[in-house]
Amino acid sequence: MPQDGISISLEGLDSLLAKLSAIEKPEAAIRKALRAGGNIINAAIVERAPEKDGTGGSLPEGALKHDIITRVSKREEGDFVVIVGPDKLTSHVARWVEYGHRGVRGGTSKVLANGKTKGPGSQTHDVPAHPFIRPAWEAVHTEASEAIVTTLVNEINRQSKE
């Protein structure tokens, strides 16, 4: 959820980075370390993800829990990033659950900056927010950071011995 501004920054690792540049497969070590941290966050989100109560909608029961992904990729700038969160099937629903939304009947309805609505739909109710992604992050971000560092150090030590 990069657009939400959640990130982990590791500082004071100059000697570790020097060792990292000396090993044979640094990208593999970085990917493994980020995945280790991402998997911890993933498990925390899945644990907190609400289950559908069978009241309708187009998604099957448990879709939100089963659609949480961990993806490690390399950006064009050369930085690596780990993305943890709902995948394409449920990302829109996860936003509605996390932040709450308005129930609308009879078409679309958009709230304008001046507070008025635009569109043929009429609001029927407010659905309160049920945050599960941010609380998961807040609960395990320190553990995830430690897992990243530990895995990276272990990979560097393992590769430097080979």
Give the number of C-alpha atoms closer than 13 A to the C-alpha of residue 14, restricted to the C-beta side. Answer: 1
Which is nearest to 162 in space by CA: 34, 28, 10? 28
**Model pLDDT for residues 109-146, shown as the tens digit of each residue:** 999 999 899 999 998 999 999 999 999 999 999 999 99
pLDDT digits over 72-114, tens only?
Answer: 999 988 889 999 999 999 999 999 999 999 999 999 999 999 9
What pLDDT is stored for residue 35 in this prediction?
A: 98
**CA–CA–CA angle 4, 88, 3 (5° rounding):** 15
Tell me the average pLDDT across 142-161.
90
- Domain locations in the chain as residue ranges: 2-11+21-157
